[in-house]
Chain A
Amino acid sequence: MPADTTAPTTGTATGVDVSAARAALREVAHEPGAPKPDPIVVVDGVRRTFGGLTAVDVDHVEIQRGVITGLIGPNGAGKTTFFNLLTGFDRPDAGDWSFNGSSLRGVPAYRVARRGMVRTFQLTKVLSRLTVLENMRVGATGQHGESLLKAMFAPFWRSQESDNTAKADGLLERFLLIKKREDFAGSLSGGQRKLLEMARALMADPELVMLDEPMAGVNPALKQSLLGHVKSLRDEGRTVLFVEHDMDMVRDISDWVIVMAQGKVIAEGPPHSVMGDQRVIDAYLGSHHDQDLTPELDEEIMAEAQAEIEDEGEHRG
């Protein structure tokens, strides 16, 4: 586990200095695909099409180590598909991407996770008919008892199991789920499931935590505590990449924001500057949102659309 040295598994933030990582970002250009001083993930030319639709087409993007990066964009921008591609849950048509300098192209999802890049899901995936504690234990990596031959004989895995249980209890304590320890995960509320999923991901001591819409369907009271938990991941030295629609959250916790629209990265920068970026506003609201629709403008839009269609036709021909 690469993160073992820097990240404690339980307890509160240990005060890993994130200011250096943040300071480094100050020098980075606010341009899509801007190079970062210490990237943990580098993506090059990743493209994924579904039939005629290009869902993701990212030329170049880098994710800075040790900070919280938000990935935003309007519905259908390809954020979740991009997530799936990076974590090996989907295969791109072209492109390469690396984690800690080694390529992840063609690496299956479970190996991606073992390398220290663990994700959560937009629609929370808890293991309903397992208890909360069992859910946590599944998350631990490198378990001897998970190999068929050793599984039948408890002495091979018993001590490791109790270590994992202690670690799980620590995390459950931190994520306020300790009272639910013996309950089936299926009996938890939506917000508690989000917490459990995040805590379970931490059982693997990931270097990079990828959260797909951690705030979706969570009530406002729990949101604040979830925000705290996400920040605590960074404060203990992990890198966080998250997809989110909730702009307050994006503004509040992210150190850097990447904006996607129609499969491409259209803008990058710190949250305050990105939100004012014309390209971002256009992507969310449409480029003519502040103009009345006059016949001339109507024609202009039609001409633009026509040109785009022809352009695409040529590319395909």
Chain B
Amino acid sequence: MDLHSILSQALQQGLGPVAAVYCLAAIGLNVHFGYTGLLNFGQAGFMAVGGYAIASFVATWGLSFWLGALIGLVASGLLALLLGVPTLRLRADYLAIVTIAAAEIIRQTIGSVTLLKYFGGQDGLQGFIGSFADLNPFTGRVGIPGVVSWRPYDFWTLLVCWVMVALCCLMVWALMRSPWGRVLKGIREDEDAVRSLGKNVYAYKMQSLMIGGLIGGLAGIMSALQHSAINPSFFATDTTFFAYTVLLVGGAARVLGPVAGTVIFWFLLSFLDLFFGAATAGNHPLIPTAIMDDTQASLMRFIFMGVSLMLLMVFRPQGIFGDRRELALDAR
């Protein structure tokens, strides 16, 4: 077994474009859930709106790529508005139900046969990355020689994604240290108390939902670019839950929580996959076939992931960056 190659490939995933896309999605959720206490279980829906806006603008209607990107962001903001108007005055659980349902409605609608000529049904759309790929300055594999490397287009998307992550983190940091962010955190703790102090809680929740939704839309756009294609299966509910996992691993309500979370999550996920794959491969595998064969090995990563998530929740529920003092309060 080539441990060096396994670690290298795992690191490639941990820092790769997929990890960066999930990081963006998790930053959006951090604004919603971590800072404002809004339970958005439909982040995949925001991503789908962003991603499909850009893909269909270019591939179906032949319009400008940049206009598509702009419309993608605007549309995901509008989706937040649409979901927020009826639910934000109600208890938090209603938003959870509405968002998870809306995400599924969006996915099913986009994949439907009726809209086949616009969104390509279950096969999705391709051939919309032209303008973006043209800007790619890299040729040949890029990376740190002997440690990790990417194909040129992958490195280009990864670079753009991480720059977006940095900008979003900067924005979240600037917002959350301000009095505005303080009101959001107050709403998370007790919205009636904040209301009694003269703050328009509904407006703040709406702003938070829209900002997080916009970042989600951006994640969707980057996801479409990174795959050079788009189809409805990218935006299934497990996408949202992976993003939540990323957020919780890193620590909610911490600016850099999603960044640490996504690197750890994707590194471990691909490391376990590669490790068990290698350990069961060949004629004389490390793990005897009697215990596990190579088809079973591919499922091991999710079992380990589940167990380690449970352990994390038991022993460090505040995540990697979380504050232990905050945790002590929850026990009261």
Q: Do A and B bind each other?
A: yes
A interface residue count range (under 10 / 10 to 19 / 20 to 34 / 35 or more): 35 or more
The answer to whether B328 touches A187 (Cβ under 8 A) is yes
Give which listed residue, A118, A137, A153, A204, contacts B182 with CB less than 8 A. A137
Contact A130 to B185, CB < 8 A, known contacts A113-B198, A184-B326? yes
The answer to whether A118 touches B198 (Cβ under 8 A) is yes
The answer to whether B326 touches A129 (Cβ under 8 A) is yes
**CA distance in complex: A187, B326 (Å):** 9
Q: Which residues 111-126 of B sit at the A interface, judged by CB distance below 8 A?
A: none
**CA distance in complex: A109, B200 (Å):** 9
The answer to whether B196 touches A161 (Cβ under 8 A) is no
**CA distance in complex: A146, B112 (Å):** 43
Does B16 make an interface contact (CB < 8 A)? Answer: no
The answer to whether B179 touches A110 (Cβ under 8 A) is no
**CA distance in complex: A110, B195 (Å):** 5
Across the two chains, which residue of chain A brings its CB closest to B170?
A152
Does B181 make an interface contact (CB < 8 A)? Answer: yes
Which residues of the partner chain B approach A152 to less than 8 Å between Cβ atoms? 171, 174-175, 178
The answer to whether A109 touches B182 (Cβ under 8 A) is no
Q: Which residues 87-102 of A sit at the B interface, judged by CB distance below 8 A?
A: 87, 89
Q: When A and B form their complex, what is the total count of cross-chain residue pairs whose Cβ atoms lie within 8 Å?
A: 110
The answer to whether B179 touches A204 (Cβ under 8 A) is no
B interface residue count range (under 10 / 10 to 19 / 20 to 34 / 35 or more): 20 to 34
Does A143 make an interface contact (CB < 8 A)? Answer: yes
Does A285 make an interface contact (CB < 8 A)? Answer: no
Across the two chains, which residue of chain B brings its CB closest to A130?
B185
Across the two chains, which residue of chain A brings its CB closest to B199?
A110
Does B66 make an interface contact (CB < 8 A)? Answer: no
The answer to whether B196 touches A121 (Cβ under 8 A) is yes
Closest Cβ of chain B to A110, distance in Å, is 5
**CA distance in complex: A129, B92 (Å):** 18
The answer to whether B332 touches A127 (Cβ under 8 A) is no
Residues of B at the A interface (CB closer than 8 Å) are 171, 174-175, 177-183, 185-186, 188-190, 192-201, 207, 325-326, 328-329, 332
Interchain Cβ contacts under 8 Å between A and B, 5 examples: A113-B195, A118-B198, A121-B193, A129-B326, A144-B179
Residues of A at the B interface (CB closer than 8 Å) are 87, 89, 108-111, 113-114, 118-121, 125-130, 134, 137-139, 141, 143-148, 151-154, 157, 161, 184, 186-187, 200-201, 203-204
In the complex, the 4 A-B pairs of residues with the closest C-beta atoms, listed nearest first: A151-B180, A145-B179, A113-B198, A186-B329
Having A109-B196, A121-B192, A146-B180, one finds 15 other A-B pairs with CB under 8 Å, namely A89-B192, A110-B198, A110-B200, A121-B196, A125-B196, A126-B190, A130-B189, A139-B197, A141-B197, A143-B179, A146-B199, A151-B181, A152-B174, A200-B197, A201-B196
